C-alpha cells in the first residue's frame, strides 16, 4: 500500500465549555473520520449527540495509551482516518495523546492538527499579564512538599507562570503559593467559557480569603497565572558572574540547596530565588 492510501490522525480541539466554540472544520471532520479516539467516550458522546453524529469511538487515556498505538496504527495503514480528542480543549496539553502522536510520527504517519479551544491560551488572552514569554507547568504536584519544591524552583523565573488546578486542590495550592512567593500578583481564571466564568486577581492570600468568604469561588476548573519575578538588579555581566559561581559549585558536587545558601551569602538576595536559579542551571546541564 502506498503512503497516499494511508489514513490521517487528526488532533482535534474540542470546546472547554461553550459548544459554540467548536470550529466548523472540527465538526465536519468528526463526522467524516472512521474512528474517534477519545479520552472518555462517555463525555465525547454528548458532543456527538449535540452535532447529530454517530461515529465509532475507542477510549484512549493515560492508562491505556501505549497499548493503543499498534491498534490505531493498523487502522491508519488500512486507510482509515482517526480523530483524537480529549474531554475538553486541545489534546496533549495536560491531556492524553503525546505517546500516540510521538510513536505515529516516528512511523511516518500523517498527523494533522485541527486547532481550537485551549484553556491555557484563553486564560492568558484575558488575564492582563505579560504573554511575550510564559512558562506552562500543567498541574503542580498533588503532594504539598513536592508542590512547594516546584514553586521554589520557579521563584526566580521572569516569565509569566501558568498552571492548571482542580477544585479539590485549589485552596491548598493558593496557600503554598502564598507561603513560597508571598505577594506575587496572581490572576485566577475559573470555569472558562461557561456560565460562571470568572477572573479573580490579587495575591494568593487575598484570593484564598475570598474563597473562604465565598465557597462558590473554589468550584470548577482553574487556570492559575502568576506574574514573573522582577528582573534582577545589576548588569548582564554581574548576572553571568552569578551564574558562573553557581555553575562552579554544582560542578564540584555541591547540592542545589547548599549552592543557593553559598550564593546568598556571597552575593545577597533570597535563598529561595537562588535555589530556583541553581535548580534551573542543574537541569540545563
Average pLDDT (170-192) is 96
DSSP string, 201-236: EE-HHHHHHHHHH-GGGG-S-EEEEEPPPPPPSS-H
pLDDT value at residue 1: 40
- Confidence class for position 9, pLDDT limits 50, 70, 90: very high
- Segment 76-94, tens digit of pLDDT: 999 999 999 999 999 999 9
Burial 150-181 (b: 16+ CB within 10 A, else e): bbbbbbbbebbbbbbbeeebbbbbbbbbbebb
Do 99 and 28 meet the contact criterion of CB atoms below 8 Å apart?
A: no
pLDDT value at residue 233: 54
Task: Give yes or no on whether 3-117 and 120-226 have one common fold.
Answer: no
CATH architecture of 120-226: 2-Layer Sandwich (3.30)
Q: For residues 48 and 56, what is the distance between their CA atoms, to the nearest angstrom? A: 11
More confident residue, 14 or 240: 14
Q: Per-domain residue ranges for the chain? A: 3-117, 120-226, 236-284
Judge whether residue 237 has pLDDT over 70.
no
Q: Is the pTM of this model over 0.85?
A: no
CATH architecture of 3-117: 3-Layer(aba) Sandwich (3.40)
- Segment 15-34, tens digit of pLDDT: 999 999 999 999 999 999 99
Do 212 and 204 meet the contact criterion of CB atoms below 8 Å apart?
A: no
pLDDT value at residue 118: 97
Judge whether residue 99 has pLDDT over 70.
yes
pLDDT value at residue 240: 63
Amino acid at each position: 500500500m502506498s503512503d497516499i492510501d494511508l489514513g490521517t490522525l487528526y488532533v482535534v480541539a474540542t470546546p472547554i465549555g461553550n459548544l459554540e466554540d467548536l470550529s466548523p472544520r472540527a465538526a465536519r471532520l468528526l463526522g467524516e473520520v472512521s474512528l474517534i479516539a477519545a479520552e472518555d467516550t462517555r463525555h465525547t458522546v454528548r458532543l456527538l449527540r449535540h452535532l447529530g453524529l454517530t461515529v465509532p469511538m475507542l477510549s484512549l487515556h493515560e492508562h491505556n495509551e501505549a497499548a493503543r498505538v499498534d491498534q490505531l496504527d493498523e487502522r491508519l495503514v488500512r486507510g482509515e482516518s482517526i480523530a483524537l480528542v480529549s474531554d475538553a480543549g486541545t489534546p496533549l496539553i495536560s491531556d492524553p495523546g503525546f505517546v500516540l502522536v510521538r510513536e505515529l510520527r516516528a512511523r511516518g504517519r500523517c498527523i494533522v492538527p485541527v486547532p481550537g479551544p485551549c484553556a491555557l491560551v484563553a486564560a492568558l488572552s484575558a488575564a492582563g499579564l505579560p504573554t511575550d514569554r510564559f512558562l506552562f507547568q500543567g498541574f503542580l504536584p498533588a503532594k504539598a512538599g513536592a508542590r512547594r519544591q516546584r514553586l521554589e524552583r520557579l521563584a526566580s523565573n521572569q516569565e509569566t507562570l501558568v498552571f492548571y488546578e482542580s477544585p479539590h486542590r485549589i485552596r491548598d495550592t493558593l496557600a503554598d503559593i502564598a507561603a513560597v512567593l508571598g505577594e506575587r500578583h496572581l490572576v485566577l481564571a475559573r470555569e472558562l467559557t461557561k456560565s460562571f466564568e470568572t477572573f479573580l486577581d490579587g495575591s494568593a492570600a487575598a484570593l484564598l480569603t475570598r474563597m473562604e468568604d465565598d465557597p462558590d469561588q473554589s468550584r470548577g476548573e482553574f487556570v492559575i497565572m502568576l506574574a514573573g519575578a522582577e528582573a534582577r538588579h545589576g548588569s548582564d555581566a554581574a548576572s553571568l558572574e552569578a551564574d558562573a559561581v553557581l555553575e562552579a559549585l554544582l560542578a564540584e558536587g555541591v547540592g542545589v540547596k547548599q549552592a543557593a545558601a553559598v550564593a546568598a551569602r556571597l552575593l545577597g538576595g533570597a535563598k529561595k530565588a537562588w535555589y530556583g536559579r541553581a535548580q534551573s542551571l542543574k537541569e540545563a546541564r
